[in-house]
Structures are given as C-alpha cells and as structure tokens.
Amino acid sequence: MKKKVTAIILTLVMIIAACASLAACSGNGGGQGGGEQPAAKGVTIAVPNDTTNEARALMLLESLGYIKLKEGAGITATVMDIEENPYNIQFNEVEAAQLPNILQDVDYAIINSNYAISAGINPTKDALAQEGSASAYSNVLVVREGNEAEPKILALKAALESKQVADFIAATYDGAVVSTAETLTDGYDASIDYAALEGTTISVAASPTPHAEILAIAKDILAAKGITLDIQEYTDYVVPNNVVEDGTVDANYFQHVPYLDDFNAENGTHLVSVAPIHVEPMGIYGGKQTSLDAIK
C-alpha cells in the first residue's frame, strides 16, 4: 500500500513539473518562445489603401524612424513590406478620401493635403510631421497619349504654369500646397493661335481641393482669350482617369506620376503627364493622440 501511495505522489509531482515547464515555454498565455512576453500592441495609424499613397505614407514613417521597409520596396510598398516594426504599430488601411472622417477613431492618420484641406484641417498648422516636397509626387496635368501637343491642351498647360497660378497657390495654401511649375508663364503660350481657339471648350476632371480651385484661376486666364474651361469635380481616384481614357473629358488634374503609372499598368490605360503643377506634402495627424510621443 505504501509503495502504491509513493507511486501516486511521484506521478503527481511529474505532472506538476510538466505543466510548469509548458507554462514557462508558452510565456504565460501565448507569447513568443524562450519565456518572452508577447509584445504589447502599439498605436493605430490609418494610412491610404491605394498602392502609391500607402507607400508614400510608409516612407514618411520610415523617415521618422518608426519602421523599416524591406530593401527595394520603393513607391509600391505596402504594410506587407515592413521589415522592422519595433513599436508594434497597428495599421488601418483606409480609402484616402475617408481618412479625415475616421481620424477621431485612430491614434493617428496619414492624410494627403487635399483631403486634409477639404476637411477643414490645416496641414501647415495641424500636421505633426510632413514629408519633403519630393518632385516624384507633384500633381500633374494628364491627357490621353497622343493628345499632348493639341493646341487646347498646350493652352491649358500654359495657364496652369502661370505666375498667376503660382501666386494663388502661395497666397491661398500657406505651404500646404507648393507650386512645382518649372518655368512660370504669363498664362499664355506664344506658339499657339489663340484666335483659332476662340469659342473652344476644354474639359478637365479634377479633385475639388485644391485642384478645382487652382483651375479656377486658369479658367479666368483662358476666358480672356474666349476659351471656356469646363471644370468637372470628382471625389475618387478612378473615374477621372477613365473619362480621359475614353475621350469624354480632355484632361484631368488630381494625381501624381507614381499613381498614374500604377493605374496604367493595372488598367491598360494610355494616359500621360503633360506637366507637373504642384505638390501636396503628405502629413501625419493626431486623432486620439496630440503628439508623436505616444508611438514610442
């Protein structure tokens, strides 16, 4: 009987030891091996979900030292290309236009300046950090391939590259939008026969802010020559390209070249940039947080 009791006790001791070993290996509730505790979840940052703007947002975070992207990820990077995330940031991928609407629900959001301005957010005053004015992200005037040299397109290009437009941008947006026109014009192209264009209508698809506002200055310039500029406003990133591709609209003005190149590759469209007009530095804005300190 004594031997039987001893055997039972030894069995219980072995079971307890095994359970203790398993608990140690599991990190007390499902953590990493070696006894490490699972990393605490970090702050939540909302980023645009379209390819090039998501990469742009991630590169901003990388420049600030919060993440590291895989080598060569470049301007098509997604959250899957994050190689190091030391602060365990949680990412929420959202349609770019909706980012201001969900800002209060996340710790931070990285927002394009045009959408920030439309939502009453001042990029210059409210952004906790902004990217540099990289020329790769200049917003460009776009037409269907083969139409670049049409007189009415050159007339629109000259109007958008004017000193009047550059001065309007500087006075209106206080650094949230920056002119990138390489050589400012007086609003007109000396090679064009404007008399022959009198009575012509030029249609252009654009985002409401700041693109349609900037186009309003070009509209006045063209009106002085009897040319009508029909500004059609869109709030998405797809239709403006489709209506130029199918010839419904002459041109559009809402996107940067990396997005345009990606759109052409994905959709088999034949759209080309005519000229860079302005850049909108992307910024990170506080939602539940008021400074970037919470990230660390």
CATH number of residue 80's parent domain: 3.40.190.10
Say if residue 4 is in the same domain as residue 102: no
Number of H helices, E strands in the chain: 11, 13
Which of 292, 290, 294, 218 has its CA nearest to residue 251?
218
In this structure, the answer to whether residues 222 and 94 fall within a common structural domain is no
Say whether both 147 and 250 belong to one domain.
Answer: yes
pLDDT value, residue 214: 98
Residue 201, domain CATH:
3.10.105.10
Q: Are residues 244 and 256 in the same domain?
A: yes
For residues 76 and 126, membership in a common domain is answered with yes
Residues 127 and 139 reside in one and the same domain: no
> d(Cα 155, Cα 164) in Å, to the nearest integer?
15
Q: Which of 195, 170, 192 is nearest to 180 (CA)?
A: 170
Answer yes or no: are the C-beta atoms of 285 and 121 closer than 8 Å.
Answer: yes
Same domain, yes or no, for 144 and 221?
Answer: yes
Same domain, 33 and 48: no
- The answer to whether 156 and 143 are in contact (CB under 8 A) is no
Distances, alpha carbon 284 to alpha carbons 119, 124, 130, 131, 246, in Å: 15, 11, 6, 9, 36
Q: How many Cα atoms within 13 Å fall on the side-chain side of residue 282?
A: 27
Predicted local confidence at residue 132, as pLDDT: 74
pLDDT number for residue 21: 43
Alpha helices in the chain (DSSP H): 2-25, 51-63, 99-102, 113-118, 123-126, 151-160, 163-173, 194-197, 213-223, 239-245, 257-267
Q: Note the pLDDT of residue 269.
A: 98
pLDDT of amino acid 29: 33
Q: Count how many domains the chain has.
A: 3
pLDDT in tens, 20-58: 444 433 333 333 333 444 457 899 999 999 988 999 999
Of the candidates 45, 44, 26, 23, the one whose C-alpha atom is nearest the C-alpha of residue 36 is: 26
**Does residue 211 sit in the same domain as residue 76?**
no
Closest CA to 185 of 222, 135, 229: 222
Pairwise CA distance, residues 43 & 217, whole Å:
42
The token duo for 104 is 């209060």
Asked if residue 291 and residue 194 are part of one domain, the reply reads no
Q: Which two tokens stand for residue 241?
A: 């390209």
> Which residue range(s) make up the domain with 20?
1-38
Q: What is the pLDDT of residue 174?
A: 85
Asked if 115 and 144 sit in the same domain, the reply is no
Q: State the pLDDT at residue 75.
A: 85
pLDDT values of the chain reduced to their tens digit, one per residue, 296 residues: 444 444 544 454 454 444 444 443 333 333 333 344 445 789 999 999 998 899 999 999 999 999 999 999 988 899 999 999 999 999 999 999 999 999 999 999 999 988 999 899 999 899 999 987 666 799 999 999 999 999 999 999 999 999 999 999 999 998 889 999 989 999 999 999 999 999 999 999 999 999 999 999 999 999 999 999 999 999 989 999 999 999 999 999 999 999 999 999 999 999 999 999 999 889 999 999 999 999 99
Looking at the structure, do residues 165 and 272 belong to the same domain, yes or no?
yes
Which whole-number Å values give the CA distances from 54 to 139, 142, 256, in the listed order? 16, 22, 13
Upstream peptide bond of 258 is cis (omega within 30 degrees of 0): no
Angle at 50 between CA 261 and CA 177, to 5 degrees: 80
